[in-house]
Structure 1
Amino acid sequence: MMKIRSKIYNRLCSLQFLVLLLVACSLYSCKESEGFNEVVSKDMTKPGALTGVKVENLAGAAVISYVLPNSENLLYVQAEYRINSRTVRQSKSSYYSDTIRVEGFEKSGDYDVTLYAVSRANVKSDPVQVRVRPATPSYLAVYPTVQIQADFGGVNVTASNPAKKPIGVIVISNDKTTGKMLPIEQFYTEAEHINFSVRGFDTLKRDFGVYVTDRWGNISDTLYKSISPIFEIMVPKAQFSEYRLPSDSPLGATGLGWNTTRLWDNNTNDPGWHTEAGYGKPLQLCTFDMGVLTKLSRYKLWERGEAYGNDYSYNHGNPKAWTLWGSAKSAPADIELPVTSAKGTVVGDWINLGNFNCPPPPSGNSPGQTTPADLAAVKAGFEFNIALDIPKVRFIRLAVNSTWGNADFAHVMELSFWGNTN
């Protein structure tokens, strides 16, 4: 592993991602629009200059306070400053405020900021120079925490973003055509704990790189590592079988063909697995045998969507939160599972493989108000990663602890699993 300065072409190749982050930004300057009109008065009187300037330095930014001039036609305060060797920015603050925020600085250090009071006729006051010294910006604070390791079909990237600031984590690798290191994943997030995987590669060793950027186009060094992705296949469903345990939920709608084996019949439409209503237990449970000891990498779950003229998407007995439990025992014993537990918790012969939540509908609408985009998301299924530190398992228990319709039953159409069965 080695840490070297990111190549110029890496910066250029991330342009597509940066364009999404930058707002009204040109190559040499970037202006923020806050609704101030260019000219709203014919009074060309020059406003007085700002006084009593004070600076509060922050991570990658600074807040400057001041005393406004006694000018009747004052509209806003403007700050002009350079954040790096390429970009000059402007920030504006209404005359209702006595502070202005300057941000996007490339690194910790001294930067000059020029302040103006601007009138309604767009007449600037005399400039006031102030020096700020922002602390280390978030993208640079995140970079030392970046780790990259082999994952199934690719690599797994983790990092820590304790300030929860918007950053981009860019993964690069060798392009087959040009041989250059080009972006293969552009992960934008404000999460404190960053953890994602990039897949789609064979098991041959190849170079990967990771760097961190922010919405102002600043870019960290690049962490490089040669990695051989882990072999991954879909676990063959022909070997799946029900392994019913006494604590499993009674099945419902069996006369209509709903049963546990429907979870692996390669049919994402009705019928599927369905529990009986009114059972009165906090968990809706089913258990099955994959037929082979597997180091799981991920799985996909399909909920019930449109059927027989009805729309069940994000409603009814579709799972909203659930836990997957696994066991490597040859004949794992039954046990009452906890409603809530941490990943890795061991209860009897079973280990918590992870706690999962169904992603919210793309529309953000309440249940019963689904849009075509919501329906498409349900039809496509929801994919979830299994943590790399989870051991091999053969048996699976699906434990649903809440549904979108707050129902006392649950239903799932299909489950598919991926991993290494060797």
Structure 2
Amino acid sequence: MADLDNKDQTEMDPADMEDVEEVEEEETGEDNSKARQLTRQMMQNPQILAALQERLDGLVGSPSGYMESLPKVVKRRVNALKNLQVKCAHIEAKFYEEVHELERKYAALYQPLFDKRSEIVRAAYEPTDEECEWKQDEEEELTVSKQEEMKEKAKVEEEKKDEEKEDPKGIPEFWLTVFKNVDLLSEMLQEHDEPILKHLQDIKVKFSDAGQPMSFALEFHFEPNDFFTNTVLTKSYKMRSEPDESDPFSFDGPEIMGCTGCTIDWTKGKNVTLKTIKKKQKHKGRGTVRTVTKTVPNDSFFNFFSPPEGTPPLTCGTILKEDEDSEAVLAADFEIGHFIRERIVPRAVLYFTGEAIEDDDDDYDEEGEEADDEEGDEEADEENDPDYEPKIKLSEENNESLSSGFMRICLSEVSSVPAPKDANPPEECKQQ
């Protein structure tokens, strides 16, 4: 009978088999669609979301079951290791505090150079011929004939420009160009922001004084303009470098505790962070229509100076029980502030020319190529190795079950080793 069944299966028309597969796929797709629809409905139910959040909060820090299975003597030793880890976290916190002091110290050494950069950009200082000489890399050097050709062409173009307009002063639109060249910042820029940022003359980083709580401020210096009366716009960030007593193992360096913007004194009608919209409203009874004018927030880079309030520390892995949009804005705000401080201000000219961006891209490409080469070499070695055994990729569920089984075997061996009866427990084994 089994042979007949096998024969029927082998002699089945391939077209019929395709039809069967298609029906199964359609049914599966319909089931998936229903499941997705049901999931969406559940996720829109506030009660279900609240219960789910409560359940997830309860799982944070919950034991996996492995520690409970350890022998008592091993648990005590693990407690000793955890106490050592807490001490490591406090030492690491001191390390970052000293790093901050070093940054503050060297910021004073960098500042004269940054001040001179600002003077050149805003035409307060004209660099000498010696200061303007720049030796190119060998790969970038051009042939003599090519150089002469370019010099002649540049001379003609310069003469034309001289006839049309006066020589530009300093380096026009320096910081605007920097912003437009950096994806993280260009995404914030709107068309109506650009005329204002043309007046940006300098960005400075100010660190907190010695002995003061860890913090830094970004200062955006503007020349007089028609948009606002401020000459400096500021953004301050408060930081903390100490482990949380309730969760010391989560410490991973300084965390930003909050940020403070400033009030922009906009000229009347020039506030780009607000826009006026007109809405038509129809009266239900009379049917008359009236136009209502309303002022609403507008997308702008200058919203950066009016951040949402962020009192709780926002660190990797922290879930804030606040509006998700505000949380996303805070996270992006902290990232932008840190990037301006660490990258933009120290290397502004390289972002102006695009060299810093090219270096970043090259780093990513090299890493990718290196990874590809390693994978290729690995595959070649595996194919040529007669003793090679292919690795099995496990799902998380299978991996956990195998790991727990392996742990049980190890534990049976560990528990079989008796501890000395007269051994006194060391003080560090008592978990604090």
Give the TM-score of the pair, scaled to structure 1.
0.21
Bigger Rg, structure 1 or 2: 2
Structure with greater strand share of residues: 1
